[in-house]
Amino acid sequence: MPRRYDPERRRRIIDAAIRVVGRAGIAGLSHRTVAAEADVPLGSTTYHFTSLDELLIAALRQANESFAAALRESGALLDPDRDLAAELARFTGEWLAGERTGVELEYELYLAALRRPALRPVAAEWSVAVAEVLSRRTDPVTARALVALLDGICLQVLLTDAVYDEEYTCEMMARLIP
């Protein structure tokens, strides 16, 4: 039987891994569960990703890119006539108010780097990408501090089921911005 050309297979496997982690957590991720979710042969997952860490790296990189891309595309954040603290607080609120499972999944993949050193460089890519965007409006040190504050606030909201407080976030962001 001839091999079927499937240029989207790798992407489908990554998407399936994200769905598996979203449903069953990192512990539920295996080549077998991903192959079943993607409806591909088991050998396809191991062909494209020889280890689960490779698959997690691809999933984390894809999850990271969605937030950073949205931030880059936000004209309000880059407009020098707009209040950066207020716009960043608003943007964060919109992101957290979106599909909660997706936000939680992004952080689950991000925090997996605590136990999986191979993920650490990819987790750091998120911080660097967001800081680069914010550096267009402020200095690089302040941009990194804003990323750290943003990370902390998001984690608190996610871990405590607290209601996101846009006013508080705006005030804290404003304290960091020169």
- Mean pLDDT is lowest, of 23-27, 39-43, 66-70, 94-98, for 66-70
Kindly state whether residues 96 and 117 are assigned to the same domain: yes
Q: What is the pLDDT of residue 34?
A: 96
Beta strands in the chain (DSSP E): none
Kindly state whether residues 3 and 81 are assigned to the same domain: no
Q: Are 33 and 20 in contact (CB under 8 A)?
A: yes
What's the rounded Cα separation, in Å, for the pair 169 and 148? 12
Quick: pLDDT tens for 7-17: 789 999 999 99
Cα–Cα nearest to 153, from 166, 141, 143: 166
pLDDT at 99 over 80: no
What's the rounded Cα separation, in Å, for the pair 73 and 97? 18
Give the end of a domain, one of 28, 50, 72: 50
Kindly state whether residues 43 and 86 are assigned to the same domain: no
Kindly state whether residues 137 and 94 are assigned to the same domain: yes
Element (H, E) at 33: helix 31-38
Kindly state whether residues 13 and 82 are assigned to the same domain: no
What's the rounded Cα separation, in Å, for the pair 157 and 124? 21
Per-chain mean pLDDT for the chain? 89
What's the rounded Cα separation, in Å, for the pair 54 and 45? 11
pLDDT at 166 over 60: yes
Range of the domain at 106: 53-176
C-alpha distances (whole Å) from 39 to each of 50, 90, 142 are: 18, 39, 46
The CATH number given to whatever domain includes residue 10 is 1.10.10.60
Quick: pLDDT tens for 111-165: 888 888 988 998 888 889 889 989 999 999 999 999 999 999 999 999 998 999 9
Q: Name the pLDDT band for 2 (thresholds 50, 70, 90).
A: very low
The CATH number given to whatever domain includes residue 143 is 1.10.357.10
Q: How many domains does the chain have?
A: 2
Kindly state whether residues 43 and 85 are assigned to the same domain: no
Confidence (pTM): 0.81
Kindly state whether residues 27 and 62 are assigned to the same domain: no
Kindly state whether residues 44 and 118 are assigned to the same domain: no
Q: Please give the distance of CA 66 from its chain centroid, rounded to a whole number.
A: 7
